[in-house]
Amino acid sequence: MTATPSPLPVPPRITTPAGPRGADQPWWNTQLGSAMPFARYERSGTRRPRPLPLTDRTWPSKSLVRAPLWASVDLRDGNQALRDPMDTRRKRAMFDLLVRMGFKDIEVGYPSASEADFSFVRTLIEEDLIPDDVTISVFAPARPELIDRTFEAIDGVDRAVVHLCHATACLWREVVFAMTPGEVEEMAVRAAEHVARRTDATKGTRLRFQYSPETFNVTEPEFVLRLSNTVAALWDASPDRPVTLNLPTTVETDSPHVFADQVEWMHRNLHNRRSVILSVHPHNDRGTAVASAELAVMAGAERIEGTLFGNGERTGNVCLATLALNLFSQGVDPQLDFSDIDGIRRTVEFANQLPVPPRHPYAGDLVHTAFSGTHQDAIAKGLAAMGRRAAEADTPAAAVPWDVPYLPIDPRDVGRTYESVVRVNSQSGRGGVAHVLNTAYGLDLPRTMRVEFGRRVQRAADHGGGELTSHELHALFTEEYLEFDRPRLMLKEFRTTPGAAGVTLAALVVLADGAERRLAADGPDAATAFAAALADIGITVRRPELTCHPLPDTVGTRFAAYARVTVDGTAQHGAAVTEDAELARLTAVTSAVNRAVEHRVP
């Protein structure tokens, strides 16, 4: 999915910036004017008017406290933007997914556009595939013959929304329709009346209506307002049977605050506001569709149209997964089920035949993963703190309020595991390495050993250049601490008995040349006694510090022990994993001794 960069990319044809510096540019800002033809995009005149700001906007002081009405347009706007539009199987997979996730408002197609769209709507109706609480909507342009075909498509449905749409902005009026504003208004009125007439002739179906002044965001506000009020009135909009007024940023042209002002202005000025469901349909040309949608809701919109992961014309529609999970991350019920985000993603990728990029919010492969050391360290500490809080409160970790640095949500809440959260490469540090060894293998390295092993991993990562898997980290750990080619010392057997100083230890060890030696010593504990006993064979081991813990093994019981000692005057770490805790501690001491030999400079 991620394109591998070619080793020698063709150099871009960049003209060295040579324009003037701004008169007010301070000395420390050394940027120069570019050769880009930016003047072509200036906003001026009637076709590209500058939007008028609201001076008394109220939306900045609002917040998002509940889920809006979600409307999926995957099967219409998403579908119409695909190179290979969905066939019935892919449409069906998408529809079923949307239903399972909890969508109640699903635009299922543009039935007058193609046989495929028409027959899919027929299949949904004839095979009774639409749940009682789901309302499908069908898109129709302001062309009578296409409106007729749309009504044919929904014949026999229990309930549906007929969605009428045409462009309203000056550029479209002049260039696409070659119409005056009055003529466009007349087209809208004729089309809305046609829809109303067809509805009157339709028996047994509960129909509602949606009107989209396409290109709303670049249309004169008074003109859109007049059209919207006229169409809503023509359709007898009432609080019991509200008309959906859907305001699109058909091509996103401005910062999200501009759209919010436009939406708030409509919200305040619409006639009969309670008879209108104010909806928005943000596209993502500037990459700010999510912000546009969120600010629009603060400005009075109550419904959002978008697609899963943002498929749609050009840069796409607003991503409903991002919006819903943004709410979720603020403690607001999204009213959609994202508990299996990878399953959802697989279905969407199948339906659209388009990959979801690795950095896509909440759903990309890499979005719950940290490679960088300080992030990993903080995440590992955060997860450990969560675990402690859960234990103190005697509740499952999943019930504790989420508070982990760098992770806006708990990956498990969307069906991911913690294994992918921390991944190791040359950017990583000891915290991340220790976290991976702990989560994947249950090894809980003491602090000083983390530092040492972290450096070892860093060398390996620098050398290899890429990622080190948990398996590779474990292999490195084994090579470094658990297995030795020609060990200087092996513990063959040992026995402890209570002694004057605490413990009397008797041990049989094997030396590098294969010779066996019996050793004995007293000490406060077996490891200290063992360290003392090693003096008999000329190995000076002092100050043993040992930690030991059981491993969360699924088969049998094993213990990991870590030793920090001085061997012949040099500080060393050792480790061992065995079935017996005491044996693990003593073997960790032999590991430190063997490492002292391996690391001795000749």
Ligand X SMILES: CC(C)C(=O)C(=O)O
Binding status of residue 77 toward ligand ACO by CB under 6 A: yes
Nearest-approach distance from CB 427 to ligand ACO, in angstroms: 43
Residues 319 and 167: their CA atoms lie apart, in Å, by: 23
Specify the stretch interacting with ligand ACO by CB under 6 A; choose among 82-90, 92-100, 107-115, 364-372. 107-115
Is 166 near ligand ACO (CB under 6 A)?
yes
Q: Which of residues 530-589 bind ligand ACO (CB under 6 A)?
A: none
Question: If binding is defined by CB under 6 A, does position 188 make contact with ligand X?
Answer: no
Amino acid at 115: E
Does position 173 interact with ligand X (CB under 6 A)? The reply is no
Q: By the 8 A CB rule, do 262 and 247 touch?
A: yes
Torsion (CA) 544, 550, 553, 557 in degrees, nearest 10: 100
Do 531 and 501 touch, CB atoms closer than 8 A? no
Which residues are registered as beta bridge partners of 107?
A: 137
Taking CB under 6 A as the binding criterion, the range among 108-116, 300-308, 466-474, 552-560 that sits at the site for ligand ACO is 108-116
Residue 194 as a binder of ligand X (CB under 6 A): the answer is no
| 380 lies in the site for ligand ACO, by CB under 6 A | no
Exactly one of 110, 216, 338, 453 binds ligand ACO (CB under 6 A); that residue is 110
How far apart CA 211 and CA 206 sit, in angstroms, is 17
Among 77, 252, 261, 365, binds Mg ion (CB under 5 A): 77
Give Cα separations from 16 to 13, 21, 22, 206, 592 (angstroms).
Answer: 9, 14, 17, 63, 59
Spatial separation of the C-alpha atoms in residues 178 and 305, rounded to whole Å: 29
Q: Which of 212, 244, 284, 590 binds ligand X (CB under 6 A)?
A: 212
Please, which residue, 303 or 595, has the CB nearer to ligand X? Answer: 303
The site map against ligand ACO for 192-221 (x = CB under 6 A) is ----------------------x-------
Count CB-CB contacts under 10 A for residue 87: 11
Choice from 85, 109, 141, 373 touching ligand ACO (CB under 6 A): 141
By CB under 6 A, the count of residues binding ligand X is: 9
Establish if 176 lies at the interface with ligand ACO (CB under 6 A). Answer: yes
Considering the complex, state which of residue 70 and residue 110 has its C-beta at the smaller distance from ligand ACO.
110
Residue 212: which of ligand ACO, ligand X, Mg ion, none does it interact with, CB under 5 to 8 A by kind? Answer: ligand X
As to burial, measured by CB atoms within 10 angstroms (0-12 exposed, 13-18 middle, 19+ buried), residue 11 is exposed
Backbone phi and psi for residue 150, each to the nearest 5 degrees, phi listed first: -65, -45
Complex with ligand X: residue 173 or 283, whichever CB lies closer: 283
Residues 6+ apart with CB under 8 A from 471: 440
Residue 542's binding partner, choosing from Mg ion, ligand X, ligand ACO, none, with beta-carbon cut-off 5 to 8 A by kind? none
Residue selected from 90, 91, 283, 430 as contacting ligand X according to rule CB under 6 A: 283
- Judged by CB under 6 A, does residue 175 bind ligand ACO? no
* CA–CA dist 404, 375 (Å, integer): 10
Interacting residue with ligand X among 74, 214, 294, 410 (CB under 6 A) = 214
Number of helices (H) and strands (E) in the chain: give both, helices first: 17, 14
Q: Which long-range contacts (CB under 8 A, 24 or more apart) does 468-471 make?
A: 468/424, 468/425, 470/419, 470/436, 470/437, 470/439, 470/440, 470/441, 471/440
Is 217:254 a contact under the CB 8 Å cutoff?
A: yes
**Interface with Mg ion (CB under 5 A):** 77
**Interface with ligand ACO (CB under 6 A):** 77, 80, 110, 112-114, 141-143, 165-166, 176-177, 214, 250, 313
